[in-house]
Structure 1
Amino acid sequence: MSIAEKIIAEQQATAAQAQSVFDGAPPVDPDFMIGTWRGAEVRTGHRMDGMLSASGWWGKQFIDAETVHPLLFPTRDGKALWALDPRRLPFDLLMRAPLPSLEGRSLAGLTTVSRPLMGTTKPKARLRTTVYGGVGSATMVYDAHPINDVFRRIGDDTVIGLMDQRGAPPYFFSLQRDDSLPVLARRR
């Protein structure tokens, strides 16, 4: 098992290890990202460690370069996915305010009941090629926040992602292709 595969499997690394794996991984073309991807955090000691897991975050969907759902969550019955509107999340506050540890906690129920207020059927990000660390690779660009998620290839159906936000250290996560659940086209 390579160090990259180990980090993805264990969802844990030092920030330096995750950065080294990311830097050493080949770039991906935006077309490679088309599909639905299941996500997982790579815990590195970042202040956001545990947030996505605690929220019940499932992953991302890339329909085409203009139609991206960056934050997918399972429905109450777990048989489908719904898209959360990131515009409704205070990313600036999350990056600056003191945060309680969410390790071992679940806010998934709260996320699920927030669907009528937080859900969307409209795309909230786009897919582009950007240059990060001197390498051009597929990047998800949020519509409402100055955040880019840059992707590099780990395997045929696996990428490592790096959330790039001005003034914050990189936040790492992984995505594995998984088209097993439908994404709801309208709220129910």
Structure 2
Amino acid sequence: MSIVALQKLESGATAAQAWELFDSLPAVRAEEIRGRWRGRELPTGHPMDGILQASGWYGKQFDDAESVHPLLFSIGGDPDSVFAVDPRRVPVGLADKVPASVVAKGRGLLGVLRLGLRTRRHRARLRNLEHRGVVTAAMVYDHLPIIDVFRRVDDTTLLGVMDRRGMPEPDFFVLTRESA
């Protein structure tokens, strides 16, 4: 049932509709989300809508509670070209101020910029935190004022919300577990 509700929202929703679904979903424990997850945006009219896709964002990788790659990118969406990016090297504070069309033009440089952006070091941690009255998995960035909070849609799908200090409304996204 939850996956059907999510699919209905993926063509476009309001933040209120996304919150309604998020709040209806069960918690997921940090230890249950290990592995690589492919990401996609849930458009809600947020200023960041389209930015992640336009930038080449691939998803996230949770190796263990202390070892998380919060930002994975790929060249042309190819799973074989996935690399972790140090979030401090990405102008996250400008993400909701730059149009997706401008970001998409810069995406062609991702192959060249990869050497300067990539990291082998984990840049986030997983914790079980209370959010909106529910204790659920959350990813805490090491060097940025951002927490991503997750709820379970089904065994292979999470609904996430990016909560960034100074951003009036959070940004919603979906993660799908890659097969092992």
TM exceeding 0.5: yes
Structure 1 gap segments, 5+ residues each: 181-188
Cα deviation code 1:23-63 (max 9, x no counterpart)? 11101000111010000000111111111000111110000
Counterpart secondary structure, 1:176: strand
Q: Distance in 1 between matches of 2:100 and 2:94?
A: 15
Describe the shift of the 1:104–1:94 C-alpha distance in structure 2 as closer, same or farther (beyond 3 A).
Answer: closer
Match of 2:152 in 1: 153
Matches within 5 A, 1:60-75: 60-75=60-75
Cα shift at 1:93: 3.3
Match of 1:183 in 2: none
Counterpart secondary structure, 1:160: strand
Q: Distance in 1 between matches of 2:157 and 2:35?
A: 12
Match of 1:82 in 2: 83
TM-score by length of 2: 0.89
Match of 1:185 in 2: none
Match of 2:16 in 1: 16
**Amino acid aligned to 1:92:** G
Match of 1:131 in 2: 130
The answer to whether structure 1 residue 142 and structure 2 residue 144 are counterparts is no
Counterpart secondary structure, 2:121: coil
Cα shift at 1:14: 1.1
Match of 1:6 in 2: 8
Q: Is the 8 A contact 2:84 2:120 kept in 1?
A: yes
Q: Distance in 1 between matches of 2:67 and 2:127?
A: 11
Counterpart secondary structure, 1:12: coil
How many residue pairs get aligned? The number is: 176
Cα shift at 1:88: 0.9
Describe the shift of the 1:16–1:86 C-alpha distance in structure 2 as closer, same or farther (beyond 3 A).
Answer: same
Q: Distance in 2 between matches of 1:108 and 1:40?
A: 16
Matches within 5 A, 1:1-188: 2-7=4-9, 10-75=10-75, 78=78, 79-95=80-96, 98-102=97-101, 105=104, 107-168=106-167, 169-179=169-179
Cα shift at 1:76: 6.7
Cα shift at 1:100: 2.3
Identity of aligned residues (%): 48
Cα shift at 1:105: 3.9
Greater displacement, 72-81 / 122-131: 72-81
Counterpart secondary structure, 1:102: helix
Cα shift at 1:114: 0.8
Cα shift at 1:11: 5.0
Describe the shift of the 1:76–1:158 C-alpha distance in structure 2 as closer, same or farther (beyond 3 A).
Answer: closer
**Amino acid aligned to 1:84:** V
Q: Distance in 2 between matches of 1:154 and 1:85?
A: 28
Cα RMSD, aligned residues only? 2.1
Cα shift at 1:175: 0.2
Cα deviation code 1:94-120 (max 9, x no counterpart)? 34xx42243994543222321110000
